[in-house]
Amino acid sequence: MPTSPTGSLSLAAARRIALAAQGFGSARPSAPPTRRTVMKVLDSTRLLQLDSVSAVVRAHYAPVFSRIGAYDRTLLDEAAWGHSARKPRQLIEYWAHEAALIPVQDWPLMRWRMVQYRHGRWNGMRQVLERNPGLADDVLGVVKEYGPSTAGEIERHLELDRPRAKDNWGWNYSDTKVVCEALFAAGELTVPRRVGFQRHYDLAAGVLPADVVSREPDEADAIRELVRRAARAHGVGTETDLRDYYRLTRRQTEPAIADLLDSGELEQVTVQGWDKPAYLHTEARTPRRVTGAALLCPFDPLIFFRDRTERLFDFHYRIEIYTPEHKRVHGYYVFPFLLDGELVARVDLRAERASGRLLVPGAFAEPGRDHARIAGALGRALREMADWLELDTVEVGEKGDLAPCLRREIA
């Protein structure tokens, strides 16, 4: 790849480019959001990470809310887990940046990864497949006969419903569940629907359009397309940024970046304060200003690569879900707060649905920020989130330097 940059960007400009690429550079829609509005978010992000934590709202719903405001979550559900002749499926699950929803047309770009995972995605999965050499075929046979099924339903059909060992680490999945996940990773099964966030597995060939299933791009071509998508989603980013978006390797991304430089789709630049070359997508917008407020969930594509978040926003952020409570600095499920193009604060949030409360156990401003200004905007954003989640009240706790000012604002 070329080693000499052809242009330079200030950090502020890089930030605005990144925000615009992620869908924060335009005004929110004035009309009630439709399925088209929701899918336009995917035009920017290309993926929505899935996560089981529901402390506030499932992770894939939050980035859409951050970009367009309150919307009917069934619009996203139907795009991912519904299908009809009038409303065909537009999103599908696969391992992109971790488990994620991606556009259906992007599924073949993961064929090379499915080949990598054909014997299991991790060592324990491979061991399960090795000790149950016929179980994968049995699982596929059940799905062919009965259609979309949970792992538990498949297990019952196979008459394998038996007590599981209690002494092993982790989720303690049954072998059947592990094999279902292995077949999902290998692209044999996919997830046409979820009920209560539980996966129902079905044959990928029966769920996805025939032209999608039949496409088998060469790995180099697929990687180039993924890097192209990552570059659009970043606007400007380093090789490690582009690599992380779809969890690629340096061996994969460097040739792809070189090809995109040669074709003129990327331009190598320097960004003030960055110690690595950056790559600017030639169609990236550079807004003069980015305005507005947004609460960002921990798995939002704008911030899920923490190194990039720190480089772009001077914002050190770590998720503390797995940190013992007494060692947490900011809280269990903390949302950074984006205001007028900068990350200015963070809040620990909890949706207590039984009592109709959005709880804010902690609120913290970044050093040197205007607490009153932040509290005003943050109070409005929290009220908007509470309304979207059909919660009646917002209650601010005692923790954090921003909490007193935010509490007065909410009151």
pLDDT tens-digit map of 38-79: 999 999 999 999 999 999 999 999 999 999 999 999 999 999
DSSP string, 303-350: TSSHHHHHHHH-------TTS-GGG-SS-SSEEEEEETTEEEEEEEEE
pTM of the model: 0.94
Strand boundaries in 119-241, DSSP class E: 189-195, 198-203, 236-238
Burial of 385 from C-beta contacts in 10 A (0-12 / 13-18 / 19+): buried
pLDDT at position 159 is 80
pLDDT confidence of 165, banded at 50, 70, 90? low
Report pLDDT digits (tens) over 388-411: 999 999 999 999 999 999 999 998
Q: Which two tokens stand for residue 46?
A: 């290309």
Per residue in 326-357, pLDDT (tens digit) is 999 999 999 999 999 999 999 999 999 999 99
Say what the pLDDT of residue 77 is. 98
- Quick: pLDDT tens for 267-312: 999 999 999 999 999 999 999 999 999 999 999 999 999 999 999 9
Evaluate if residue 171 carries a pLDDT over 50: no
pLDDT(160) > 90 = no
- pLDDT cut 90: percent of the chain above it: 91
| Of 356, 400, 341, residue with least CA distance to 375 | 400
pLDDT band at 102, cuts 50/70/90? very high
Alpha-carbon span 225 to 230, nearest angstrom: 9
For the cut 70, the answer to whether the pLDDT of residue 84 exceeds it is yes
Output 27-34 pairs: Cβ under 8 A, ≥24 positions apart.
27/292, 28/67, 28/68, 28/69, 28/292, 29/68, 29/69, 33/68, 33/69, 33/70, 33/71, 33/72, 33/75, 34/75
Q: At 351, which amino acid appears?
A: A
Q: Which of 29, 19, 61 is nearest to 284 (CA)?
A: 19
Using pLDDT thresholds of 50, 70 and 90, give the confidence band for residue 3: very low
Report d(CA 411, CA 409) in Å as an integer.
5
Of 91, 78, 69, the closest CA to residue 389 belongs to 69
Q: Is the pLDDT of residue 5 over 90?
A: no
Query: Which pLDDT value is given to residue 241?
Result: 98
Hey, how many other C-beta atoms are within 10 angstroms of the C-beta on 140?
18
Note the pLDDT tens digit of each residue in 186-210. Answer: 999 999 999 989 999 999 999 999 9
pLDDT tens-digit series, residues 362-384? 999 999 999 999 999 999 999 99
